[in-house]
Amino acid sequence: MKSFNTGMRVGKIGRRASAFPFGDVLELDPCQEDEVAIVDVGGGRGQSLETIREDWPLLKGRFVLQDLPDVIKDAEAKGVPEFIETCPLSFFDKQPVSGARIYYFRRIFHCWTNEKSRQILENTKAAMDEYSRVLIADMVLPDINCPRDLAMQDLNMMSLGGMERSESDWRRLLESAGLSLRKVWLNEDGPKHAVLEAVLPGFKGHRLG
């Protein structure tokens, strides 16, 4: 478990959290101090939440880190910043945090089949309100003319029981769970480090981009 957690940490050091403008969105749809701004689902030791806070230090609201009990125990043993609340949880269980502005999944869904991924999303959808967003930081393959290195990554994930997905694949998966794909945010690395923004059909939050 410790080796896995360390491996998941690689790639988060020295990078902004993602292409998504957390600060702009949470300024337009602000939280009160006692409301949950971000739930990092399957977030390991909380590195993404730390990076988001470093990039946007004035964000209000609570930051919640969720992962399996052993992972949370390891994170707490190594020291979790005071602004992060920990919540031991399997993402295959009911999401206990309702009405968060953002439910953030980084490098999660490519490890799982569509059936398992739909279960995770349905658990999340049940906790969302009309201002909530699901953010998925993962690879987005081109629908056609996929580069060889990205196609090889898909084959690698298939051997582990997961898969990489194109934008069309992501859209179908999200819609099967009752969510709408609002936007795909790309950074300078293109499809390798994209963020998919999904919302409920009756979404009332601000729409950036």
Domains and CATH numbers, the chain: 2-199 (3.40.50.150)
Q: Give pLDDT, residue 149.
A: 56
- Contact indicator for 86, 76 with CB cutoff of 8 Å: yes
User: How does pLDDT run across 151-201, given as a tens digit for each residue?
Assistant: 455 445 554 556 889 999 999 999 999 999 999 998 776 656 799 999 999
Question: What confidence category does residue 10 fall into, taking pLDDT thresholds of 50, 70 and 90?
Answer: very low
Active site (catalytic) residues: 110
pTM metric for this prediction: 0.87
Burial of 72 (C-beta count, 10 Å sphere; 0-12/13-18/19+): buried
The mean predicted confidence, pLDDT, of the chain is 86
Q: Give pLDDT, residue 141.
A: 85
Segment 132-138 mean pLDDT: 97
Question: What confidence category does residue 4 fall into, taking pLDDT thresholds of 50, 70 and 90?
Answer: very low
User: How does pLDDT run across 48-99, given as a tens digit for each residue?
Assistant: 999 999 999 999 999 999 999 999 999 999 999 999 999 999 999 999 999 9
Kindly write down the DSSP assignment for every residue of 59-122, as one continuous string: --SEEEEEE-HHHHHHHHHH---TTEEEEE--TTS-----S-SEEEEES-GGGS-HHHHHHHHH
